[in-house]
Structures are given as C-alpha cells and as structure tokens.
Structure 1
Amino acid sequence: MVDWKSEEVIQMDSMIFLKLTHALLGLYLWEFFISLDFDWAVMTGKTRFRWPLIFYFAGRYILLFALIGIAIALDTQSEINCQALYAFNQLAGNAAVGLASINLSVQTVAIWSQNIWIIVLLVLIIIGHWSLILQGILLNAVWLPGLDCTITNSDNTILAATFIYSMCFDFVVLCLSAYKLAWTHTWSGTHVAPTRLVRMLFSDGLVYFFIAFGSNVIATTMMVLDLNPIMSVIFNVPAAIASTIVASRVVRRLTNFQHSALEMM
C-alpha cells in the first residue's frame, strides 16, 4: 500500500503537480489568446460594455495572474517568499471560481428579467460564497534549497467547504435557469431569435454545470481524502480553469448574441 505521507511519494506528487500545472497553463493561455478578439472589441467600443462584463474580465485576468504565480513558485531557482506567493495564488484561484459562479448568476438574473426575489436570493448566496473564499491563508509553503516552493500544510476543511458550496451554488443557478427556460418562458414560437436564445442559454447552462460540477467533485474528493499536502490541492487548479473557461464562454456567447440581435434591428 502506498505511503502517501512519505517524502518519496510527496516528491513524486510534486513533480506530477509541476507537469500538470504547466500543461494547464498552456491550455488556459491557448483559450485566453483565441478569445482576445472579444476583449479587444469591448475595449474599442465595437461591442457595447455592460457592467456584468466586469466580472467576466476580473475572472479571466485574475486566474491568468494566479497561474503565472503558480508557475513562478514551481520554476524559480532563486529563494523567494513562498508563503506570500502562495497566499496570492490561493486567493486569486478561489476568487476565479467565485467569479465564474457570479458570471452564470448574472445570466440567470437576465433570464428572470431582473426579478427582485431572484436577485436577492443570488446576492445572499454570493455573499456566503465569498465569506468562504476570503477566509484567509489556508496553505503553508516554504522554500526548500535545491528544490522550489513546497506546500507543507493545507486547511482542507475550509477549502473543501468552498468547493462544495460552489457545487451547490452552480446547481441552484442551473435549476433556476432550467425552470425559467423550460417551463415558464412565453415565447410565441414565431420569433426565431428568442427560440435560438432559449436553446443557447439552456444548453450552455447544462454544459457549464456538468463541467464545473465534475471538476469540483474531483477537487473536493481529494481534499477530503487528505492523502498529503500536494494531493489535497492538486486538482484545485483544473477546477478553477474549467469553471473560468466555460463561464467565460457563456458570457461571450450571450454578449455576441445580443450584439448580433441589435445589429439586425
């Protein structure tokens, strides 16, 4: 049986974490650059800026900085303040997960035509979510000569609670969207654009939920198992990247759809 607490296994897990993080950084950079045209269109005024896009841009760029920070922590050959760097990486990564949920919540509010009760419900859930995200420093990391920044301890209770809350949050948002789109929408059927919009929002919501839910389940499971400090957080990065990518795509598709509809009027 594998001794997950042994130094040899932890060192091997660190190498796996290093390679996985570099692969995910490449994946996110690819997704980031192929979607820069949308960012440029908003910045130059070709696509109208609306306040919900603040969460879109914040999520994209905060996660980018977090991944760069993780790469620095894993690749640097010079001694640095590992604790401060990992504190930033943890806060930025968790914030990206929270912002991804907010992006879908904004879409849900739009589906419900800014119903005040839906807004109040989602705002309360968001406040609870961020109360967990902003709990503080949940990781301890030190510089090991000849190696790099190494995670020595992690508070898995709060981290697991944050990811479980994220899953529940996403599930509530999916149910609200599905109910409104599948049962209470009042499109007449003669208008092509609303029908396409309903299908797009519903399918995107389902895709988002299953990808985000699946990645969060894996991350939460590893934190609950608490095999060692590395294995406890190794799937946090994939979960944050998956949530951010799919949430960002939902925002871009909805914004581009609305922009196209306005041009056709």
Structure 2
Amino acid sequence: MPDWNSVEELTLDGAIFLKVMHALAGLYFWEVVTSLDYDWSFLTGKRRFHYPAVFYFLNRYCLLFTMIGILIALDTTVEINCQSLYTFNQIMGQAASGLASINLSIRTIALWSHDKRIIVPLVIIILGHWSLILQGVLLTAIWVPGQGCVVSGTNNTILAATFIYSMAFDLVVLLLSMYKLVLGVRGGRSQLMSLLFKDGLVYFFIAFFSNLLAVVFILLNLNAIMSVIFNVPAAIFSTIVACRAVRRLTNFANKGPEVFVSTGNSFRAAPMGTTPTVPVGSRGTMKSNKGEGVHVQMQTFTMADDHLSEYDAGQKTQIPDLETGDVEISREFKRPPY
C-alpha cells in the first residue's frame, strides 16, 4: 500500500492528473468544434432563439472556459495567483454540472405540459442543487516553483454532497420522464417518444456512473490530487450527453412531420415518406355501396414538426414543442366526413 501523501506519490499523481486533464480537454474541444454548426444556426437566424437555449449555451461554454482555465493552471511557467484561478475553475465546472441537470429538467417539465405539480418540486430541487454548487471555495491551490499550481487541500464533505445530490437529481428527472413516456401514453410509441426514452436512459447511466466514480475517490480521500481527479470527467460527460440530447431533439424536429394512422382503438405513428399499413385484424371504417364494391377508409393526421400530438382512443396526449418546450393545446384535427 503506497503512502498517498509522500512526495514521490504526489509527484506521480500530479503527472497523471496533468495527462488526464489534457486528454479530457482535447475530447471536449473536439465535441465543441464538431457541433459548432448548431450554435452558428442560432447566430445566423436559422433557428429561433428561446429560453431553453440559454441553459444549453451556458452549459457548453461554462465548461469550455473551465477547461481553458485548467490548461492555463497546468501549463503556465510564470507564477500566477493559483487560488483565484482554481476557484474560477471550480465554480464554472460545478455550474456546468448543474446546468446539465437543468437542461434535462426543462425537457421533463415540457413532457408534463408545464404541470405545476412537477414544476414546483423540480425548481426546489434545482435551488437546493445550486445552494451546494455556490458554497464557495472548496479547493486550495498554491504555486510551487518548478511544478506550477498544485492542489493542496479540498473540502471533501461539500464536494461529495454536491455529486451525490446530482446523482439523486438525475434519478428523479429520469423517473419522471420514464413515467410520462411509458405509462402516461397509451397506444403505439412514436419515433419522438422512442428518442426521448433512449436519450433519457443514456444520459442517466453516463452521468450517474461518472458522478459515482467522483464520489468514491472523494470519500476515499487518498490525497488532495486523487480526491478531485474524477471531478472534471464527471462534468464533461454530463455536459456532453445533456447537450447532445438537446441537439438530437431539435434535429428530430427538422426531419419533417409524422403521420398518425387510425387502427380502430388507437393511432400509430409512421414517418412521412413511408406508406402506413394497418395490421391484420385491426378495425377500420367500411362502407358498402351498390355498384361501387367495398371501400375501406383510413383516417390520417399530419402533425407539424413544431407541435406534435399523439392520439389514442378518444384521448389526446400532448407532446412538447422541440425548441420552445411549449405545448400546443388549442390545435384540433377534424375527421373527414363519412
């Protein structure tokens, strides 16, 4: 068992920390560059700017500035104020984790049609999360000649509480979304619902296990460096999957409308450009006229991509606007006369 606080071990851990941070910075810079077309579409007016985009941009660029600050702290050869720089990095990095959870919370609120029974608890949870994020200085860093900025101490109690809170928060958001997508909608599942379901699961597992790894090393408290080495990966992976979920939803809206086909007791989604089919044994509306044979009528509804709704037998389930998070409740579709 090594002496985690020996000079040799701290030097080794510092070298590992340096390489891990550079690798993660490269990963995140690649993620930002490859998705700049989405950001640029807002600046050029190709996409309408709505309030959910504010949290998306804050999430992405808070973490971007954090990674730049970390690289400065690790690579500078000129003496700087390490404590101020690490305080900035800590607050911005923790804010990125909090904003990632907010991005998924907004989608969950929209799925529940802005139900106050969902909004109020989630807002309270978000405020509790940010009360931990903004606790203040949790890291102590000093300048060491020949080494640069070195982390010399951490407040492990608050750090662990913040990551555990994030894990619980993500679990609540996942359960609310899954309940609405699985139990709250009857009939066939549309492509949009399948996308929301899969993205929710992927986000939860990636964010949960990255936060869990950070919590384990914080609680082990091996030394100051090992206690924070997995904090940055947790923030990066949470931000990447949350922002990708936002972009995938918006891009889904641009693929075009869906056709919902009546098959008796329910409506089934079919993408535009394909031929809807009625399963064998399903009931349709049939009319028989002399000299005209038997005619089968099939009711179809074309849903615009900015406000999607899904229907079952006599009941309408609202699907949120993919960009604004608003729900269209006044839209009606009339059946053709028989």
Q: What TM-score do the two structures reach when normalised by structure 1?
A: 0.95
Equivalent residue for 2:214?
A: 219
Pick one of 238, 243, 248 that aligns with 1:248.
Answer: 243
Query: 1:212 touches 1:242 (CA, 8 Å); kept in 2?
Result: yes
Equivalent residue for 1:155?
A: 155
Equivalent residue for 2:78?
A: 78
- RMSD between superposed Cα atoms in Å: 1.3
Q: For the residues of structure 2 that align with 1:179 and 1:237, how far apart are their CA atoms?
A: 31
Equivalent residue for 2:33?
A: 33
Residue 110 of structure 1 and its aligned partner are, at CA, apart by: 1.1
Equivalent residue for 1:202?
A: 197
Q: Which runs of 5+ in 2 are unaligned?
A: 258-303, 307-338
SS in 2 for 1:52: helix
Amino acid at match of 2:223: N
Residue 261 of structure 1 and its aligned partner are, at CA, apart by: 4.2
SS in 2 for 1:40: helix
Amino acid at match of 1:257: F
SS in 2 for 1:3: coil
Equivalent residue for 1:172?
A: 172
Residue 45 of structure 1 and its aligned partner are, at CA, apart by: 1.3
Query: 1:47 touches 1:259 (CA, 8 Å); kept in 2?
Result: no
Residue 47 of structure 1 and its aligned partner are, at CA, apart by: 1.5
Q: What TM-score do the two structures reach when normalised by structure 2?
A: 0.75
Residue 258 of structure 1 and its aligned partner are, at CA, apart by: 2.8
Counterparts of residues 179-190 of structure 1 (less than 5 Å): 179-186=179-186, 189=188
Equivalent residue for 2:136?
A: 136
Amino acid at match of 2:215: T
Q: For the residues of structure 1 that align with 2:180 and 2:211, how far apart are their CA atoms?
A: 25
Equivalent residue for 2:271?
A: none
Query: 1:140 touches 1:152 (CA, 8 Å); kept in 2?
Result: yes
Q: Compare the two structures and name the one with the higher helix fraction.
A: 1
SS in 2 for 1:165: helix
Q: Which runs of 5+ in 1 are unaligned?
A: none
Q: For the residues of structure 2 that align with 1:115 and 1:39, how far apart are their CA atoms?
A: 30
Q: For the residues of structure 1 that align with 2:145 and 2:233, how far apart are their CA atoms?
A: 28
Amino acid at match of 1:204: D
- Which has the larger Rg? 2
Residue 259 of structure 1 and its aligned partner are, at CA, apart by: 3.9
Query: 1:138 touches 1:159 (CA, 8 Å); kept in 2?
Result: yes
Q: For the residues of structure 2 that align with 1:242 and 1:66, how far apart are their CA atoms?
A: 14
Amino acid at match of 2:72: I
| Greater shift in the superposed pair: 47-56 or 97-106 | 47-56
Q: For the residues of structure 2 that align with 1:166 and 1:37, how far apart are their CA atoms?
A: 30
Q: For the residues of structure 2 that align with 1:116 and 1:233, how far apart are their CA atoms?
A: 38
Q: For the residues of structure 2 that align with 1:60 and 1:97, how far apart are their CA atoms?
A: 10
SS in 2 for 1:199: helix
Q: For the residues of structure 1 that align with 2:134 and 2:6, how far apart are their CA atoms?
A: 32
Amino acid at match of 2:78: S
Equivalent residue for 2:282?
A: none
Percent identity for Structure 1 against Structure 2: 62
Q: For 1:80-113, what per-residue CA distance to the aligned partner results, in whole angstroms no more than 9, with x for missing partners? A: 0000000000000000000000000011011111
Residue 256 of structure 1 and its aligned partner are, at CA, apart by: 1.9
Q: For the residues of structure 2 that align with 1:232 and 1:61, how far apart are their CA atoms?
A: 25
Q: Compare the two structures and name the one with the higher strand fraction.
A: 2
Q: For 1:100-159, what per-residue CA distance to the aligned partner results, in whole angstroms no more than 9, with x for missing partners? A: 000000110111111111111110000000000000000000000111100000000000
SS in 1 for 2:49: coil
Residue 255 of structure 1 and its aligned partner are, at CA, apart by: 1.8
Q: Considering Cα pairs closer than 8 Å and 6+ residues apart, tell me whether 1 or 2 has the greater RCO.
A: 1
Residue 42 of structure 1 and its aligned partner are, at CA, apart by: 1.4
Residue 32 of structure 1 and its aligned partner are, at CA, apart by: 0.5
